[in-house]
Amino acid sequence: MSARARTAPAPELLERARAGERGALARLITRVERGGDEAEEVAALARGAGEAHVVGVTGAPGSGKSTLTGRLVGLLLAAGRSPAVLAIDPTSPLTGGAILGDRVRMVGVADGAFVRSMATRGHQGGLAAAVPATLRLLDAVGHEPLIVETTGVGQVEVDIASAADTTVLVVAPGWGDAVQANKAGLLEVADVLVVNKADRPGARDARRDLELMLDLGHISGHEERAGGRPRVVMATSTTGEGLEEVTAAVEEHRRRIAADGRLAERRRRRRRLEVAGRVERLLEERAAEALDSEAGAAVLAAVEEDRLSPAEAARALLDEVGRSL
């Protein structure tokens, strides 16, 4: 980054980003990530967006999310679109450091797209706290569609489903059997299921288990409530085999939910969740301040001497936070 861009005012950076200057966009994302007043300034400027299709790509570590994302981006670029990728990797809870190793899989296929690596910085659920604000910024400068690749996830990290319009779940052969597929969590929120590494043994078994799970969802009524049966697509991301079908399934899902009103509903829910998340973070900060204050020390001392129960102490501190708001 040039010395000038480091300190340039946000409105100027946004204008330059809209004109296609990637360094300016990159700097704005850094400010969003840092949080605080800088981030709020950028968020206030990046209003009026909300049109771009947000596609989530999620799955277990090593299932091929990054390679698949790279291929998707290549196809989108070839179709004349202007995709941007947010690739999330975990921050070490011990040191605060992170290896952001997603874009190493995208070199050569996704050249020309805007790709930004982002560390979770303590956020749970497979995403980073800065994801919603960064997506709005990418939208505001004209990128579409926006692809968010989550960290490698297990069974319950389903944040992506509320951040994205369309969630693509990537599984690899050998990931588990029909009972695994029937468990609650990630598989429930997928809009498109991709059996990646389809050239490997076990790929057809994986597909069968997923279809079986979807059949049960049909019987139980989940399918109707969710608004349709997710498509299962076989793909080999290293060669690009099946990726056109993945792209078609993603586009088809977007068209379907735009037509039946679920897109608007998802976005309403997303805004509500983002506001709720911000309220939680603000309250957390205030609570930490209250604990460190004189009043907090008094309340903690009362718990220590058994004059207050922890629950009573929490209520007393919450009143303290309420007064400070």
Residue 55, C-beta contacts closer than 8 angstroms, at least 6 positions apart: 72, 145, 146, 147, 148, 164, 165, 166, 167, 168, 250
User: What minimum distance in Å lies between the beta carbon of 64 and other proteins?
Assistant: 17
Which CB sits closer to other proteins, 7 or 311?
Answer: 7
Q: How far is the CB of 277 from other proteins (least distance, A)?
A: 14
| Minimum CB–partner distance for residue 276 and other proteins (Å) | 18
Cβ(192)–Cβ(230) below 8 Å:
yes
Minimum CB separation of residue 113 from other proteins in Å reads 9
Find, among 165, 155, 157, 95, the residue nearest to 123 by Cα: 157
Query: Using CB under 8 A as the criterion, which residues of the chain lie in contact with other proteins when the complex forms?
Result: 1-3, 5, 22-23, 25-27, 29-30, 33-36, 38, 91-92, 95-101, 103-104, 107, 111, 114-117, 119, 121, 285
Cβ closer to other proteins: 99 or 156? 99
Q: How far is the CB of 102 from other proteins (least distance, A)?
A: 9
Chain centroid to Cα 41, Å, comes to: 22
CA pseudo-torsion sign 99, 74, 131, 54? negative
> 53 or 116: whose CB is closer to other proteins?
116
**Which is closer to other proteins, CB of 1 or CB of 298?**
1
Query: Cβ closer to other proteins: 34 or 315?
Result: 34
Identify which of residues 96 and 174 has a Cβ nearer to other proteins in the complex.
96
Beta-carbon neighbour count of residue 33 at 10 Å? 19
Residue 231 Cβ vs other proteins, minimum distance, rounded to whole Å:
32
Q: What is the distance between the alpha carbons of residues 41 and 325, in angstroms, rounded to a whole number?
A: 21
Strand order in the sheet with 84-89: 114-119, 84-89, 146-149, 54-59, 166-171, 192-195, 231-234
Q: Which residues contact 153 (CB under 8 A, 6 or more apart)?
A: 58, 59, 60, 126, 186
218/147 Cα distance (integer angstroms): 29
